[in-house]
Structure formats: C-alpha cells, structure tokens
Amino acid sequence: MSDIGDIGGIGDIGVGGGYETPAGLHAAIIMDGNGRWAVARGRSRMAGHEAGADAVRRTVEAAPGLGISVLTLFAFSSDNWKRPPAEVGALMRLFRTFLAREARRCAERGVRIVVLGRRDRLPGGLVRTIEMAEAATSGAVSFLLRIAVDYSARDAILAAARRLDSLGANAEPLSRELFARLLAGPLPVPDVDLLVRTGGEKRLSDFLLWECAYAELVFTDRMWPDFGEADLAAAVAEFHHRERRFGAVPTPVAVSDDGTPGTFRGPFGASLSIL
Ligand code: FPP
C-alpha cells in the first residue's frame, strides 16, 4: 500500500486473512541506543544499527518462550527522516537485507511478519521486499512480528479518522471498538500489554499511542544492541508483578451502585470496583 490513507494499519498484506486472537502477551519495543552504543565503541552509528539487527533476531527468538505472541518493534519513526540522508539510506538497506534474509526462516518457525507504517516514501526495493516477506510468512500462526517503519501513531490515528469519514452514513455508531478496528486495518491484534523502551529515555515518541492506553511501561538503560533474552525476561517478570486495574480498584474496597460493599467482576475475572 502506498497511499497515506493506509498508514495506520498493516496495509495490503497480500495473502491470508485475519490473525487469530492470540493467547499470549502483546509486547512492543522502542529500540533505542544504537548510535550511543556504537559511538562508545569508537564505531560508526551504522555499526550500532547492524548490531541492533542482531538484537532483533535474538529478541524474536526469545519472545515465544516468554509468553509473548505478538511483538511490535519500532524500527523507523516518521520523524527519523530528519536524520542525515546517509544514515537513512543505510537503515533502509539494512531493513531490506534483514527482511530478505529472515523471511524464509520466519515462515519455517511459524513467525508471521507484517510491516506497519507508510510505504509511499520508502524505496521501491524495500517495498517489494516487505511485500515478499509478508506474503512468504502469511500462513504462519504461532507468532506475529510487526515491524513499524515510517510509522507515526498520530498519523495512524488521523488515517483511521479519515477512513471513518469516508464511511459516511454507512458507518455504525462510533465506538472505541469501531475506531480500534479502523486503526488496526485487516489484521487486528490486542492492545499492547507491555511496552519496553531501551536506551535510558523515558518517552513514547509517537509509538502506538492508542494501543498503549493500558500498557505497562518498562524503561531500561540497556542500549538496544546489548538487549537480549535476559532483558526481555526481566521486562516480562516486571509486567507480571504489576497489578493491572484498568481504572478500577481491587476489593475489599469495592462498593456497589447503592453504596453498599459489593464486588464487580472485571477483566480476567478479577474482583474490582469501577472508579
Ligand atoms: C534508535 O537508536 C534506533 C533506530 C532509529 C533504528 C532502529 C533500527 C534497528 C534496531 C536496526 C534493525 C532493525 C530491524 C527491524 C532489522 P538511535 O540511533 O536513535 O540511538 P541513539 O539514541 O543512541 O542515537
């Protein structure tokens, strides 16, 4: 897909239908720190990105064993076009090489690849490789790897609003569910459970703003090229230690509508009282 109206979803994935609602976690990662990792070693920023690609492989291999079934990686933000052209060009080539190399291995291992974001500004060769990787892995159902390239959450939300507008009178009444479907495109996935950002910064940088509404946020000082299974396991462990209340409060402070103590059965069967 190359038109701005499709920037929110996965675009035309070529082959295959929807993705079955997975049982595991949806984890998302802002992979930061490649440049600093490289500079600290007296190497080029690009060497950091190449080491970052190795970390992507390690992370995808480790994720299923840690209870993750959807992994969304922020590889290139729509604001990253502001970087020097040489770095941008080298990153585009790295994405292409990675997808060309990994597609078959992913298909064999049951990993489906989809790429989020705009395609109309990407080099033609990369777009063709994305389409090849998506088609080659479209039958895989064990694990979903989503890679965000030229992605902006705000632009994705605007694109969903445009789709809603284009439905006009045919649209069902606007609801969170309808908007989430318009945002997700043809391959909906559950909201993000766990968002990890490496590299020491603590911000979302326009990544999955709608989908992270109730995500647990984990920030680590680890630079992305050093990230590995132990770091992902630590983030997942941290996630399991958090109490997810989705705006409610746990019993025993539950109070029913008439003000008397009572319980409410909330997400995952927990006893909750809505705030
Ligand atoms: C942020 O680090 C990282 C990026 C903008 C690029 C991410 C790319 C990779 C991890 C390469 C491999 C990815 C795939 C999908 C094959 P930075 O350069 O901003 O680091 P800095 O903050 O230390 O400068």
Dihedral sign, Cα of residue 232, residue 246, residue 23, residue 264? positive
Residues 6+ apart with CB under 8 A from 174: 164
pLDDT-above-70 percentage for the chain: 83
Cα end-to-end distance, the chain, whole Å: 43
**For residue range 70-97, what is the model confidence (pLDDT) as tens digits?**
999 999 999 999 999 999 999 999 999 9
In residues, how long is the chain? 275
* Rounded distance from Cα 121 to ligand 1 centre (Å): 19
C-alpha span between 87 and 252 (Å, rounded): 55
Active site residues: 32, 80
Q: Which of 34-43, 57-66, 163-172 has the lowest mean pLDDT?
A: 163-172
Q: What is the pLDDT of residue 247?
A: 82
**Pocket lining: 147 vs ligand 1, CB cutoff 6 Å:** yes
Q: What is the pLDDT of residue 245?
A: 80
Q: Which of 29, 30, 31 should be mutated for ligand 1, with most atoms under 8 A from CB? A: 31
- Number of Cβ atoms within 10 Å of the Cβ of 91: 21
pTM for the full predicted model = 0.85
Domain coordinates in residue numbering, the chain? 4-244, 247-275
* Rounded distance from Cα 126 to ligand 1 centre (Å): 17
* Rounded distance from Cα 250 to ligand 1 centre (Å): 40
* Rounded distance from Cα 224 to ligand 1 centre (Å): 8
C-alpha span between 262 and 66 (Å, rounded): 36
**Pocket lining: 199 vs ligand 1, CB cutoff 6 Å:** yes
Q: Where are the alpha helices (DSSP H) in the chain?
A: 34-40, 45-62, 85-108, 124-136, 153-167, 176-184, 229-241
Q: Which of 29, 30, 32 should be mutated for ligand 1, with most atoms under 8 A from CB? A: 32
Beginning with the edge strand found earlier in the chain, give each strand of the sheet holding 111-116 in spatial order.
111-116, 143-151, 68-77, 25-30, 194-197, 216-219
pLDDT-above-90 percentage for the chain: 77
Q: Whose CA is nearest to atom 24 of ligand 1?
A: 35
**Pocket lining: 74 vs ligand 1, CB cutoff 6 Å:** no
**For residue range 166-196, what is the model confidence (pLDDT) as tens digits?**
998 888 899 999 999 999 988 999 999 999 9
Q: What is the pLDDT of residue 267?
A: 34
Q: Which atom of ligand 1 is nearest to the CA of 201?
A: 22
253 or 265, which is more confident?
A: 253
Amino acid at 163: R
Q: Which of 36-45, 190-199, 242-251 has the lowest mean pLDDT?
A: 242-251
Q: Which CATH number fits domain 4-244: 3.40.50.80, 2.40.50.180, 3.40.1180.10, 3.40.1190.20?
A: 3.40.1180.10
Q: What is the pLDDT of residue 257?
A: 54
**Pocket lining: 31 vs ligand 1, CB cutoff 6 Å:** yes
Q: Which atom of ligand 1 is nearest to the CA of 45?
A: 18
